[in-house]
Amino acid sequence: MISRNSLKQAIVETRRIKGVHFTYPALAAMEILAAGGLDYIYIDGEHGAFTISDVEACCIVADRLGVTPVARVPDGTAPVITQFLDRGVRGIIVPHVETEEQARIAAEATYFAPLGQRSFGGGRPYAHVGNKDIPSLLKQANAGVSLSLMIETAKGLDNIAAIAAVPGVDYLSFGMFDLCQSLGHPGDPKHPEVTAAVEAAAAKVRALGKPIREDFITFAWINDLVVEGARRLLP
């Protein structure tokens, strides 16, 4: 049985959810933190230290805990997205999206027909042994997967309305450190020119009826949680 996607459900229900972003596989920490009522765990497959086997292990743990496993993939090509989905990831986050064409390629790879052209293979969790009703399984898979795109360059900002309008894109986010660099203010994501550009771009996305990550997600990075916990418990 395919579990619900907490991100997709939260968007429909217009409510907030929370999650922890991991840059390394810490299965025990995932189990402990899930007790705090997490809705999702985020696997950083772009900048994090995950093998593809680690990704699958994280997804298995997330499934057992009833939280949605999502992952930032290294890039938005179909082979990469397919590999992450076949390990059990149910939310794809694609970095460095600059064009409508890139958005469409990502959507095509994320969803089975008729929504896309995702490849069906022997990966988990959808290719269950003995399942005879594959059409029903593919419909469930489409309903249970989400797609988010990251805008991280000036070119991406220029094209954000067309990117956000692509069918299958659930929400967008901004990679602020790469974006501020692209806008001529490296290391300064709070520069007035950067924040103004992001606010204007976010308004275009919302005008299309789609949210920005911060509209419905509260999150923390695992290292920040560890450091903050140490400061509080070991003053």
CATH of the domain at 149: 3.20.20.60
Within a domain: residue 198? yes
pLDDT the model gives residue 198: 98
Are the C-beta atoms of residues 124 and 62 closer than 8 Å to each other? Answer: no
Are the C-beta atoms of residues 38 and 63 closer than 8 Å to each other? Answer: no
SS3 43: strand
Within a domain: residue 1? no
Q: Could you tell me the residue range of the domain that residue 96 belongs to?
A: 6-233
Domain count for the chain: 1
Within a domain: residue 101? yes
Report residue 94: phi and psi, to 5°: -105, 120
CB atoms within 10 A of CB 129: 5
Tell me the mean pLDDT per 10 residues along the chain, length 235: 85 96 96 91 97 96 94 97 96 98 98 95 68 82 95 98 98 98 97 98 98 97 95 93
pLDDT the model gives residue 7: 97
Active-site pick, 47, 96, 185, 191: 47
pTM: 0.94
Please say if 96 is a catalytic residue: no
pLDDT the model gives residue 219: 96
